Amino acid sequence: MSLITCPNCQAQYKVGLDTLGEEGRMVKCAQCQNDWMARPLVPDIAEENIVDPIPEPMDEVEENQLDAGFEAHFDKSSELADKKLKHSNVVAGPGLDDDVEVDAATIAKQRREMAKRHSLLNRNMPKARFKRGLRAVGAVILALMVISGVAFRENIVRAFPDMAGIYSSVGLGVNVFGLEFSAVQTLISLKNGMEVMDISAAIGSVSSRQVTVPQIIVTLLDGDGNSLYEWSVTARAAIMLPGEVIEMKTQLTSPPAQTKTVRLTFEGAK
């Protein structure tokens, strides 16, 4: 047997002397597909005294048989290497005998480096750069849309009232009127032997611009939140300036006995 080494990838193979012949022959590495002139190693002869003879050509059948042998043993060794890689850093290598050892860590490192080079090459391709830029622009546009949707939600709901439900579902209240109720008070008293409910509240403008004051809807609710009675009230001012506050008052004679709470809203509110 003679040990031959691929000059390109350093893969080693044990080959019979009768296969190579005394003068050597051209062989192909099953691992890197490199072709080189393989010669038998003779321990007693110094390397500098070896003369490169011209190998005799072999017929096609012999050539195919030798190549097939290399590939078959390489496949077998690769399969064994994959199985042993989980348990050891040294596995059976690609040779005609299974006792030739190859460093599995080196093979794994070469695979990682190759994958890294391919990934870097793909990232530097014009098409990949274009896709990355397109994704970045899309992310910026989406962020601007979200910010605008939150900042200008009152204007959006004013133009599209059905959007108010969507904002409410995500916890974003929308005050399309720019007005708020505060200091709501309810008082029940007897006048001429009848119960009278007096309701008062302050209406404040929280808008940065002049707003129109719509009709005020007063609703009496029972303990379960069901509407018992409802009526409308006209505010004392039709238009309010930013920061302005006005008072609202109304009363109802003989309110329903089941009344528990009073709800104030503006007409058109959803």
Q: Kindly state whether residue 148 falls inside one of the protein's structural domains.
A: no
The parent domain of residue 75 ranges over 2-102
Domain count, the chain: 2
Mark which of 45, 75, 102 sits at the end of a domain.
102
Q: Kindly state whether residue 138 falls inside one of the protein's structural domains.
A: no
Mark which of 71, 102, 133 sits at the end of a domain.
102
Compute CA distances 240 → 68, 199, 235, whole Å. 95, 21, 10
Q: Residue 266 in contact with residue 177, Cβ under 8 Å? A: yes
Q: Kindly state whether residue 109 falls inside one of the protein's structural domains.
A: no
Share of the chain above pLDDT 90, in %: 26
Q: Kindly state whether residue 122 falls inside one of the protein's structural domains.
A: no
Q: What is the CATH number of the domain that holds 205?
A: 2.60.40.10
Q: Tell me the C-alpha distance between 97 and 4, whole Å.
A: 12
Q: Kindly state whether residue 239 falls inside one of the protein's structural domains.
A: yes
Q: What is the pLDDT of residues 53-97, one digit of tens each?
A: 444 555 555 555 555 555 555 555 555 555 555 444 433 344 444
Q: Kindly state whether residue 27 falls inside one of the protein's structural domains.
A: yes
User: Which range has highest mean pLDDT (25-39, 78-92, 126-140)?
Assistant: 25-39
Check residue 207 and give its pLDDT: 84
Q: What is the pLDDT of residues 209-246, one digit of tens each?
A: 898 999 999 999 999 999 999 999 999 999 999 999 99
Q: Kindly state whether residue 208 falls inside one of the protein's structural domains.
A: yes
Q: Kindly state whether residue 168 falls inside one of the protein's structural domains.
A: no
Mark which of 102, 132, 164 sits at the end of a domain.
102
